Amino acid sequence: KPLVFSGVQPTGNLHLGNYLGAIKKFVALQDTSDCIYCVVDLHSLTAQLVYEDLADQTRSITAAFLASGIDPKKHIVFNQSRVMQHAELAWIFNCVARIGWMNRMTQFKDKAGKDRENASLGLLAYPSLMAADILLYRATHVPVGEDQKQHLELTRDIAQKFNNDFSDRIAGLGVGVEMQVGEETVNGYFPLTEPVIGGPAARIMSLRDGSKKMSKSDPSDLSRINLTDDADTISKKIRKAKTDPEALPSELDGLAARPEAENLVGIYAGLAEMSKADVLKEFAGQQFSVFKPALADLAVEKLAPIASEMRRISDDRAYVDAVLKDGGERAGVLAEATMKTVRDIIGLLQG
Ligand code: TYM
């Protein structure tokens, strides 16, 4: 059975991009895989160390997971900082990965801005912790939005370098599994994890600017639909979304130079679980004065129940905390089993 891991940071409001690009996929993968879904609170510290309400934000992401349909009994839901092995493996990966690899990450370059010398060391090492999250459970599949693709490639590079640097010890301890690397079959301890990216909603763009991704940090609230927005707010934001004056085309090619139009079609497709091509078949030749209200109705129909369920679950703080505690205990057992082996592979004295 595939083992799925993914994480969401507990900072800022969850928006439609997070939902369609990630959480909706988390829900779908539950039927076919064992899943571990993590609120990555340690990652949030890389941008800013002190938050007023990190604990409540952690609970709120958890409530969003549960409200969207993640089953915390069949699968594991927890917050990262409870399982200290994440930080332990990240340290080891800091010693496996190279500074040059981290310097090349576009997210680091974007977030650090011009004053790179002044960015936190944690922000630079962010992908190392992310690789640790995934490889601590030797996850085989990671559902994420398009913006995380580069980090998942780095995760594979770290796994491969670890497997290669310690190949003799891995073979000697008999803890490796056979895997295919290009043409070669090698024996490694960490799997080369597959990203699960794709579909019409892997990269949802800002409603105000089709060249920027929808993001928690955009100063304009009109740029995104938050999972907690009420029906009127959702409709208003879609009505005000930037578009062009043309009608919708009948073929995908017709969206090529129309990023805002393409984004709205992608959102419709993601919510309705259709392809963009099928959305165009339905709306070919229609103006936005017709398409936008249809999209608003669909968005309200799909998102309003999640928002109200999120509110209901959030009111029961003891329940949310119990889910995270139970999930943390179960994740901790798996994590420690991996770390025991990793410490043996490296030759750290334990026992
Ligand atoms: P985060 O918290 O920024 O975002 C959570 C998920 O939402 C996806 N996403 C989007 N998808 C489509 N369109 C958008 N506009 C959009 N914006 C965000 C993200 O791709 C992500 O899947 N580094 C990760 C958290 C993380 C993680 C991990 C993920 C930490 N450890 C291990 C997977 C596995 C992040 O910052 O996601």
Give the per-residue pLDDT at 124: 98
For residues 4 and 142, the answer to whether their CB atoms sit within 8 Å is yes
Q: In angstroms, what is the span from residue 221 Cα to ligand 1's centroid?
A: 19
The residue nearest atom 18 of ligand 1, judged by CA position, is 18
17 lines ligand 1 (CB under 6 A): yes
**Could you give the domains of the chain?**
3-200+316-346 (3.40.50.620), 221-313 (1.10.240.10)
How do strand 184-188 and strand 177-181 relate by DSSP bridges? Answer: antiparallel
C-alpha dist (Å) from residue 215 to 22, 112, 185, 202, 207: 13, 16, 40, 13, 10
Collapsed DSSP state (helix, strand, coil) of residue 194: strand
- What one-letter code names the amino acid at 157? D
Give the per-residue pLDDT at 182: 86
Give the per-residue pLDDT at 180: 87
What is the best residue among 123, 144, 149 to mutate for testing ligand 1's pocket, by most ligand atoms within 8 Å of CB? 144
What is the best residue among 3, 4, 5, 8 to mutate for testing ligand 1's pocket, by most ligand atoms within 8 Å of CB? 8
Give the per-residue pLDDT at 120: 95
267 lines ligand 1 (CB under 6 A): no
Give the per-residue pLDDT at 106: 97
Query: In the chain, what percentage of residues exceed pLDDT 70?
Result: 100
61 lines ligand 1 (CB under 6 A): no
Mean pLDDT score across all residues of the chain: 97
Q: In angstroms, what is the span from residue 202 Cα to ligand 1's centroid?
A: 10
Phi-psi region of 347 (alpha: psi -120 to 50; beta: other; left: phi over 0): left
DSSP β-bridge partners for residue 195: 142
- Could you give the CA distance from residue 156 to residue 1 in angstroms, rounded to a whole number? 20
133 lines ligand 1 (CB under 6 A): yes
The residue nearest atom 5 of ligand 1, judged by CA position, is 8
The residue nearest atom 9 of ligand 1, judged by CA position, is 18
The residue nearest atom 14 of ligand 1, judged by CA position, is 17
User: Is the ipTM, as predicted for this complex, more than 0.90?
Assistant: yes
Give the pLDDT band of residue 264 (cuts 50, 70, 90): very high
Q: For 196, list phi and psi in degrees, rounded to 5.
A: -110, 90
Q: In angstroms, what is the span from residue 59 Cα to ligand 1's centroid?
A: 17
- Could you give the CA distance from residue 20 to residue 214 in angstroms, rounded to a whole number? 11
Structure tokens at 133: 């999250």
145 lines ligand 1 (CB under 6 A): yes
Residues known to be catalytic: 111, 213, 216
The model's pLDDT over 269-317, given as tens digits with 9 standing for 90+, comes to 999 999 999 999 999 999 999 999 999 999 999 999 999 999 999 999 9
147 lines ligand 1 (CB under 6 A): yes
Q: In angstroms, what is the span from residue 227 Cα to ligand 1's centroid?
A: 15
The model's pLDDT over 21-30, given as tens digits with 9 standing for 90+, comes to 999 999 999 9
Give the per-residue pLDDT at 9: 97
The model's pLDDT over 49-89, given as tens digits with 9 standing for 90+, comes to 999 999 999 999 999 999 999 999 999 999 999 999 999 99
Residue 144 Cα: closest atom of ligand 1: 22
- Please report where in the chains the tokens 């459970």 appear, as a residue: 137
What is the best residue among 18, 65, 137, 207 to mutate for testing ligand 1's pocket, by most ligand atoms within 8 Å of CB? 18
The residue nearest atom 37 of ligand 1, judged by CA position, is 8
Give the per-residue pLDDT at 13: 85
